[in-house]
Amino acid sequence: MLKNAKPIQKDKLHDRVYDQLCTLLREGEFTRGQAVHVARVAEAFGVSAMPVREALTRLQAIGVVANVSGRSLGVPSLGYEELTDLRNVRLEVETLAVKWALVNRDDAFVADLEKLLMRLEATEQSGDVQGYIKANYVFHLRIYQQSNSPVLIDIINTLWLRVSPHLYQLERENQYQVSNIHHRKIVRAIQEGDESTALQGLVLDISDAYEVLVRSLFSKSPCL
Protein backbone atom coordinates (compact mmCIF):
# COMPACT_ATOMS: atom_id res chain seq x y z
CA MET A 1 0.00 0.00 0.00
CA LEU A 2 1.30 3.45 -0.91
CA LYS A 3 1.78 5.57 2.20
CA ASN A 4 0.32 8.84 0.93
CA ALA A 5 -2.30 7.59 -1.51
CA LYS A 6 -6.00 8.38 -1.02
CA PRO A 7 -9.04 6.63 -2.52
CA ILE A 8 -10.23 8.35 -5.70
CA GLN A 9 -13.82 9.56 -6.07
CA LYS A 10 -15.61 8.32 -9.17
CA ASP A 11 -16.40 11.69 -10.81
CA LYS A 12 -13.74 12.79 -13.28
CA LEU A 13 -11.97 9.58 -12.41
CA HIS A 14 -9.27 9.53 -15.06
CA ASP A 15 -8.13 13.09 -14.39
CA ARG A 16 -8.15 12.55 -10.63
CA VAL A 17 -6.06 9.40 -10.94
CA TYR A 18 -3.58 11.25 -13.13
CA ASP A 19 -3.40 14.23 -10.76
CA GLN A 20 -2.87 12.11 -7.67
CA LEU A 21 -0.23 9.96 -9.36
CA CYS A 22 1.59 13.17 -10.35
CA THR A 23 1.43 14.38 -6.76
CA LEU A 24 2.93 11.13 -5.49
CA LEU A 25 5.73 11.39 -8.04
CA ARG A 26 6.52 14.96 -6.93
CA GLU A 27 6.41 13.95 -3.28
CA GLY A 28 8.99 11.21 -3.76
CA GLU A 29 6.73 8.18 -3.56
CA PHE A 30 8.68 6.59 -6.43
CA THR A 31 12.42 6.49 -7.00
CA ARG A 32 14.41 6.34 -10.23
CA GLY A 33 14.45 2.91 -11.84
CA GLN A 34 11.50 1.77 -9.75
CA ALA A 35 8.59 0.20 -11.64
CA VAL A 36 5.17 1.73 -11.00
CA HIS A 37 2.93 -1.29 -10.49
CA VAL A 38 -0.55 -0.75 -11.90
CA ALA A 39 -2.25 -3.17 -9.50
CA ARG A 40 -0.59 -1.59 -6.46
CA VAL A 41 -1.58 1.93 -7.46
CA ALA A 42 -5.12 0.86 -8.40
CA GLU A 43 -5.58 -0.80 -5.01
CA ALA A 44 -4.27 2.25 -3.13
CA PHE A 45 -6.53 4.60 -5.09
CA GLY A 46 -9.54 2.30 -4.86
CA VAL A 47 -10.04 2.18 -8.63
CA SER A 48 -9.73 -0.32 -11.47
CA ALA A 49 -6.50 -0.78 -13.39
CA MET A 50 -7.75 1.03 -16.52
CA PRO A 51 -7.50 4.68 -15.31
CA VAL A 52 -4.09 3.94 -13.80
CA ARG A 53 -2.83 2.57 -17.13
CA GLU A 54 -4.24 5.64 -18.89
CA ALA A 55 -2.47 7.95 -16.42
CA LEU A 56 0.83 6.14 -16.96
CA THR A 57 0.37 6.42 -20.72
CA ARG A 58 -0.07 10.18 -20.36
CA LEU A 59 3.05 10.38 -18.20
CA GLN A 60 4.97 8.28 -20.70
CA ALA A 61 3.99 10.66 -23.49
CA ILE A 62 5.68 13.58 -21.72
CA GLY A 63 8.73 11.54 -20.69
CA VAL A 64 8.06 11.30 -16.97
CA VAL A 65 7.89 7.49 -17.01
CA ALA A 66 9.45 4.98 -19.41
CA ASN A 67 10.18 1.26 -19.68
CA VAL A 68 12.50 0.39 -16.81
CA SER A 69 12.17 -3.39 -16.51
CA GLY A 70 10.88 -5.40 -19.44
CA ARG A 71 7.53 -3.86 -20.29
CA SER A 72 7.10 -2.27 -16.85
CA LEU A 73 6.80 1.50 -16.71
CA GLY A 74 8.68 3.46 -14.06
CA VAL A 75 10.84 6.48 -13.39
CA PRO A 76 13.75 6.57 -15.86
CA SER A 77 17.25 7.67 -14.95
CA LEU A 78 18.16 11.17 -16.08
CA GLY A 79 21.03 11.68 -18.48
CA TYR A 80 23.63 14.35 -17.77
CA GLU A 81 22.34 16.68 -20.51
CA GLU A 82 18.72 16.30 -19.39
CA LEU A 83 19.63 16.90 -15.74
CA THR A 84 21.59 20.02 -16.70
CA ASP A 85 18.74 21.27 -18.87
CA LEU A 86 16.31 20.77 -15.98
CA ARG A 87 18.61 22.73 -13.69
CA ASN A 88 18.86 25.59 -16.16
CA VAL A 89 15.12 25.81 -16.79
CA ARG A 90 14.31 25.57 -13.07
CA LEU A 91 16.66 28.46 -12.35
CA GLU A 92 14.80 30.63 -14.86
CA VAL A 93 11.25 29.63 -14.04
CA GLU A 94 11.40 29.21 -10.27
CA THR A 95 13.26 32.45 -9.66
CA LEU A 96 10.52 34.22 -11.63
CA ALA A 97 7.92 32.61 -9.35
CA VAL A 98 9.80 33.85 -6.27
CA LYS A 99 9.88 37.40 -7.66
CA TRP A 100 6.13 37.37 -8.22
CA ALA A 101 5.53 35.74 -4.81
CA LEU A 102 7.38 38.57 -3.09
CA VAL A 103 5.14 41.11 -4.81
CA ASN A 104 2.15 39.29 -3.27
CA ARG A 105 3.76 38.72 0.15
CA ASP A 106 1.45 38.86 3.17
CA ASP A 107 1.45 37.71 6.79
CA ALA A 108 -0.34 34.43 6.06
CA PHE A 109 2.24 33.53 3.43
CA VAL A 110 5.13 34.19 5.81
CA ALA A 111 3.44 32.20 8.59
CA ASP A 112 2.93 29.23 6.25
CA LEU A 113 6.60 29.25 5.25
CA GLU A 114 7.74 29.31 8.88
CA LYS A 115 5.61 26.24 9.64
CA LEU A 116 6.83 24.41 6.55
CA LEU A 117 10.44 25.25 7.40
CA MET A 118 9.96 23.68 10.84
CA ARG A 119 8.59 20.55 9.14
CA LEU A 120 11.60 20.42 6.80
CA GLU A 121 14.01 20.72 9.71
CA ALA A 122 12.18 18.05 11.72
CA THR A 123 12.21 15.51 8.88
CA GLU A 124 15.89 16.20 8.12
CA GLN A 125 16.93 15.81 11.75
CA SER A 126 14.91 12.61 12.20
CA GLY A 127 16.31 11.02 9.03
CA ASP A 128 12.85 10.70 7.45
CA VAL A 129 14.01 10.83 3.82
CA GLN A 130 10.64 10.43 2.13
CA GLY A 131 9.09 12.83 4.61
CA TYR A 132 11.77 15.37 3.75
CA ILE A 133 11.23 15.03 0.00
CA LYS A 134 7.48 15.55 0.43
CA ALA A 135 8.01 18.52 2.76
CA ASN A 136 10.52 20.00 0.33
CA TYR A 137 8.00 19.90 -2.50
CA VAL A 138 5.24 21.39 -0.35
CA PHE A 139 7.58 24.17 0.85
CA HIS A 140 8.61 25.18 -2.66
CA LEU A 141 5.07 24.86 -4.01
CA ARG A 142 3.75 27.18 -1.28
CA ILE A 143 6.24 29.84 -2.38
CA TYR A 144 5.34 29.48 -6.03
CA GLN A 145 1.60 29.53 -5.34
CA GLN A 146 2.02 33.04 -3.94
CA SER A 147 2.92 34.14 -7.47
CA ASN A 148 -0.80 33.79 -8.26
CA SER A 149 0.12 32.40 -11.69
CA PRO A 150 -1.53 29.02 -12.45
CA VAL A 151 0.36 28.82 -15.76
CA LEU A 152 3.72 29.28 -14.06
CA ILE A 153 2.85 26.72 -11.39
CA ASP A 154 1.83 24.18 -14.05
CA ILE A 155 5.22 24.59 -15.71
CA ILE A 156 7.05 24.17 -12.39
CA ASN A 157 5.01 21.11 -11.46
CA THR A 158 5.93 19.46 -14.76
CA LEU A 159 9.62 20.11 -14.04
CA TRP A 160 9.25 18.61 -10.56
CA LEU A 161 7.68 15.45 -12.00
CA ARG A 162 11.05 14.77 -13.59
CA VAL A 163 13.35 15.78 -10.77
CA SER A 164 11.61 14.70 -7.54
CA PRO A 165 12.18 10.93 -7.87
CA HIS A 166 15.93 11.63 -7.99
CA LEU A 167 16.05 13.67 -4.79
CA TYR A 168 16.73 10.56 -2.72
CA GLN A 169 20.29 10.86 -3.98
CA LEU A 170 20.62 14.11 -2.03
CA GLU A 171 20.78 12.22 1.26
CA ARG A 172 24.47 11.89 0.44
CA GLU A 173 26.89 14.60 1.55
CA ASN A 174 24.35 15.89 4.11
CA GLN A 175 22.62 17.76 1.30
CA TYR A 176 19.27 17.91 3.11
CA GLN A 177 20.98 19.82 5.89
CA VAL A 178 22.63 22.12 3.36
CA SER A 179 19.31 22.65 1.58
CA ASN A 180 17.70 23.68 4.84
CA ILE A 181 20.35 26.36 5.28
CA HIS A 182 19.21 27.75 1.94
CA HIS A 183 15.55 27.33 2.92
CA ARG A 184 16.08 29.35 6.10
CA LYS A 185 17.78 32.05 4.04
CA ILE A 186 14.84 32.16 1.63
CA VAL A 187 12.28 32.42 4.45
CA ARG A 188 14.19 35.20 6.24
CA ALA A 189 14.56 37.12 2.98
CA ILE A 190 10.84 36.79 2.19
CA GLN A 191 10.01 37.97 5.71
CA GLU A 192 12.12 41.07 5.08
CA GLY A 193 10.99 41.59 1.50
CA ASP A 194 14.58 41.12 0.29
CA GLU A 195 14.24 39.89 -3.30
CA SER A 196 17.97 39.65 -4.02
CA THR A 197 18.72 37.43 -1.02
CA ALA A 198 15.64 35.26 -1.59
CA LEU A 199 16.69 34.63 -5.19
CA GLN A 200 20.25 33.91 -4.12
CA GLY A 201 18.99 31.31 -1.63
CA LEU A 202 16.86 29.60 -4.27
CA VAL A 203 19.66 29.57 -6.85
CA LEU A 204 22.04 28.00 -4.31
CA ASP A 205 19.41 25.44 -3.31
CA ILE A 206 18.83 24.30 -6.90
CA SER A 207 22.49 24.51 -7.95
CA ASP A 208 23.93 22.69 -4.92
CA ALA A 209 21.38 19.88 -5.33
CA TYR A 210 22.31 19.62 -9.01
CA GLU A 211 26.00 19.25 -8.17
CA VAL A 212 25.30 16.45 -5.70
CA LEU A 213 23.10 14.65 -8.24
CA VAL A 214 25.85 14.93 -10.85
CA ARG A 215 28.41 13.46 -8.47
CA SER A 216 26.00 10.70 -7.44
CA LEU A 217 24.82 9.73 -10.91
CA PHE A 218 27.81 10.49 -13.11
CA SER A 219 31.12 9.81 -11.42
CA LYS A 220 32.91 10.68 -14.67
CA SER A 221 30.85 13.76 -15.48
CA PRO A 222 32.67 16.32 -17.67
CA CYS A 223 31.86 19.07 -15.18
CA LEU A 224 33.99 17.55 -12.45
Q: What is the DSSP string of 57-81?
A: HHHHHTTSSEEEETTEEEBPPPPHH
Percent of the chain beyond pLDDT 70? Answer: 93
The CATH number given to 13-74 is: 1.10.10.10
**Which residues 6+ apart lie within 8 Å of 157 measured at CB?**
22, 26, 141
- Indicate the range of 8-12, 189-193, 220-224 predicted with least confidence: 220-224
**How are beta strands 72-74 and 66-69 bridged, if at all?**
antiparallel
pTM of the full predicted structure?
0.85
Is the CB of residue 74 less than 8 Å from the CB of residue 130?
no
The more confident residue out of 166 and 70 is 166
Report the alpha-carbon distance of residue 151 to residue 145 in Å, rounded: 11
What tens digit of pLDDT does each residue of 80-123 get? Answer: 999 999 999 999 999 999 999 999 999 999 999 999 999 999 99
Distance of CA 145 to the CA centre of its chain: 14
Q: Which CATH class is domain 80-217?
A: mainly alpha
Average pLDDT over the chain, rounded to an integer = 90
Domain boundaries, the chain: 13-74, 80-217
Residue 220 has a pLDDT of 53
Secondary structure of 123-163 in the HEC alphabet? HHHHCCHHHHHHHHHHHHHHHHHCCCCHHHHHHHHHHHHHH
The predicted pLDDT at position 223 comes to: 43
Cα separation, 118 vs 107, whole angstroms: 17
